[in-house]
Structure formats: C-alpha cells, structure tokens
Structure 1
Amino acid sequence: MKIQGQMFIWLSFFMLAMAIVYGVWSKEPVGTTALFLTFGLAMMIGFYLAFTARRVDVGPQDEKEADVADDAGEVGFFSPHSWQPFALALGGALAFLGIIFGWWLFFFSLPVVLIGLFGWFFEYYRGEAQNQ
C-alpha cells in the first residue's frame, strides 16, 4: 500500500500543476474546477493509503523482489458447464433493448432474467448435484 499512496500523491501534484496551467491558459472555469477537484480527490486517496500503510504489514507490492503470484489469492469456484450465465446475459440484453425500443420488450425480458438468476443460484441444489 505504500507505493500506491506515493503514486496517488505524485498524481495529485501533477493534477495540481495541470489545473494551474489549464486555468491560466484557457480561463475556462468548469474544466479548471474539475481539475482542482481531481487534485483534491487524488490527494485524499494518496494520504489515506500512505497513512494506512504504516499500520498494516508490508504487502507483496512493497517488496522489490516479489512475484505477481505472491499477491494472488482465492479466485473462487465457477461452474464448468453452466448455461445459466447465457440465459442471464440474454435477459439482460433484452432488458436494455427494451429501454431503447420500448418498455414492452422489457416486460418480456423479465422472466428470462429471473429464470437465469434463479437457475444460476440454485444450480447445485437440484438434480444430480443434490445426490452427492
């Protein structure tokens, strides 16, 4: 976390310099305000990360000899042969098309989304998986 805090603090100083240059050069208040707010937000994140880094143990990202695999954790379990994500994606696509073309299509997509969602959620609680 120490290196991320330093990166955000340096980014905030860069944004401060760009805000000053942009404000003097363009005399445009909205963009200048946005850049100054970006400076403030980056400084808050950088200060928080640098402040918190003193209280936690050194992570793999702070060691120069660390490998990418040192920071890898549990990825999770994914169903190898599930059709439920396809049904959920199809229902979601129909729902967004319903917003574009008409709300009537949205109402037809709702059962497809619910079937995909409930099927994905209860996939291992029925059928062959229940007998194991």
Structure 2
Amino acid sequence: MNWFLERCLAGTSVCLLVLTGFLLECFLIAPYSIPYGSTTYNLLFLFALFCTTIFMHNLYTMMFHDPSIRSVMLSNRRGPDWSYCLRCESVRPPRAHHCRRCDVCILRFDHHCTFLGKTSVF
C-alpha cells in the first residue's frame, strides 16, 4: 500500500471519528442536559463547531503537507550551521533531523505520528 493511500485511510478514519463525536455531542447528548435552542446550547454548539473545524483543518494540513527537505532545493554552499546526515547522505539545514520511520530528514522535526503515519513538525 503506498504512502498516499495509507494517509488517506488513516485521515478518513480519524475524520469520521471526530465528526461522529461532534454529531453525538450536539444532537444526542447535549439536548438531554441543556434545553435545545437556549443560549447555553447555542454557545456549546458554536464552540464544538469551532473546535471541530480547527481540528479538521489541522488534520488536512498534516496529511497533505510535506515537511521533508526532499522538496527543498539544497544549494552547494553550506552555511556554518549546516550538517551532514549519514543516513540520507546529504547536507541538511539547521534544525533538521532524521526521522527513522520515514527515513528522510525533516525540517523542524517534532515527532512521528503513529495515527497518520507521518512526521509532525513545529
């Protein structure tokens, strides 16, 4: 299975899980504890919608953004802070680290997300 299909399947499953939680909270759980149409219910609905929208945007950005230095045009001139990656056998810019799971140098590496199978950056 290629990397794009794996990310799409993982991202789709996470999206469905988040949307299911949003729908359950707003239309099944909240109406029993908060009167439907009240100010509190409307504020809760707007807050849940805002959080879901932000989460979906961040998930989409993480799925389709490539943080590796493969797409960066590396010049022959190295700055004083540049180093050499023995695994990639190429120079890498400052603040780039090698991800062992992706087997590529990542600019501003934070951690590797096991849910999406992709590296998360700062």
**TM-score (norm. length: structure 2):** 0.36
Give 1 or 2 for the bigger CA radius of gyration. 1
Higher strand share: 2
Give 1 or 2: higher helix fraction.
1
